[in-house]
């Protein structure tokens, strides 16, 4: 496989290997909070998730010398935290086994299901209350709206929250998310879709 490291990644990897604190701080601030959300997919409490993140970073520091850049740096970081959290989750009595992801990709009603006409209607599956257009994007981008979006994302179920965080906040591609979390493309998309639909719906409520 080819090297896929960006110049930026390469600089951070070199910095970390050299024990450069600013490289560590930069990486921790870029990805630490996202890694915490990944940990919360597999363990039941915030405190344990924080321990997992710490353990994962220790693993990162120990492993950085051997990191070969076959995946992007962030994919490598997220794989380490996901694996650390899975191991920890298995050990925990009240763990959430990874297969419990099924709850988040399965049963839930489809996005905004209550907004469509039922099967007894003349146009089943069509809007009963169609979405109205919003203000132009520029006007939406206020601090208050962003805080509301951040809160809604925070309230999502763990796997949906982790996936929307990686895709839409941190700019991972779907492939990078699938590789980081060992998710199928379909499951990744279902989680992202549900997460976005819930945030959209909250924004709609807020716009009224």
CA distances 28 to 172, 182, 188, 203, Å, are 16, 22, 25, 30
> For residues 117 and 126, is the Cβ–Cβ distance under 8 A?
yes
Applying CB under 8 A, among 1, 3, 7, 19 the residue interacting with other proteins is 19
* 97 or 137: CB nearest other proteins: 137
Q: How many residues bind other proteins (CB under 8 A)?
A: 57
Answer yes or no whether residue 53 interacts with other proteins by CB under 8 A: yes
For 62-125, give the secondary structure using H, E and C: HHHHHCCCCCCHHHHHHHHHHHHHHHHHHHCCCCCCHHHHHHHHCCCCCCCHHHECCCCCCCCC
23: left (phi over 0), alpha (psi -120 to 50) or beta: alpha
Instruction: Select the residue interacting with other proteins from 4, 8, 14, 33 (CB under 8 A).
Output: 33
d(CA 183, CA 205): 31
Stretch that binds other proteins, among 2-10, 80-88, 89-97, 193-201 (CB under 8 A): 193-201
CB of 10 to other proteins, least distance (A): 20
Would you tell me which residues interact with other proteins (CB under 8 A)?
19, 21, 24-25, 28-29, 32-34, 36, 50, 53-54, 57-58, 61-62, 110-113, 116, 123-127, 130-134, 137, 140-141, 145-146, 149-150, 153, 164-165, 168-171, 174, 185, 189, 192-193, 196-197, 199-200, 203-204
């Amino acid at each position: 496989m080819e090297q896929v490291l960006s110049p930026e990644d390469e600089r951070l990897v070199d910095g970390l290997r050299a024990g450069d604190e600013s490289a560590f701080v930069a990486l921790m601030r870029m990805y630490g909070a996202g890694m915490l959300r990944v940990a919360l997919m597999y363990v039941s409490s915030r405190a344990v998730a924080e321990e997992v993140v710490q353990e994962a970073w220790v693993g990162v520091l120990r492993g950085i010398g051997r990191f070969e850049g076959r995946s992007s740096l962030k994919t490598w970081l997220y794989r380490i935290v996901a694996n650390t959290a899975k191991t920890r989750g298995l050990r925990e009595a009240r763990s959430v086994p990874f297969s419990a992801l099924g709850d988040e990709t399965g049963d839930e009603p489809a996005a905004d299901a209550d907004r469509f006409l039922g099967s007894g209607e003349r146009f089943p599956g069509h809007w009963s209350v169609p979405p109205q257009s919003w203000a132009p994007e520029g006007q939406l981008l206020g601090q208050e709206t962003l805080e509301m979006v951040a809160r809604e994302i925070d309230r999502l179920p763990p796997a949906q929250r982790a996936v929307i965080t990686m895709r839409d906040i941190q700019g991972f591609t779907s492939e990078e998310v699938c590789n980081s979390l060992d998710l199928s493309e379909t499951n990744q998309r279902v989680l992202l879709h549900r997460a976005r639909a819930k945030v959209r719906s909250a924004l709609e409520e807020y716009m009224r």
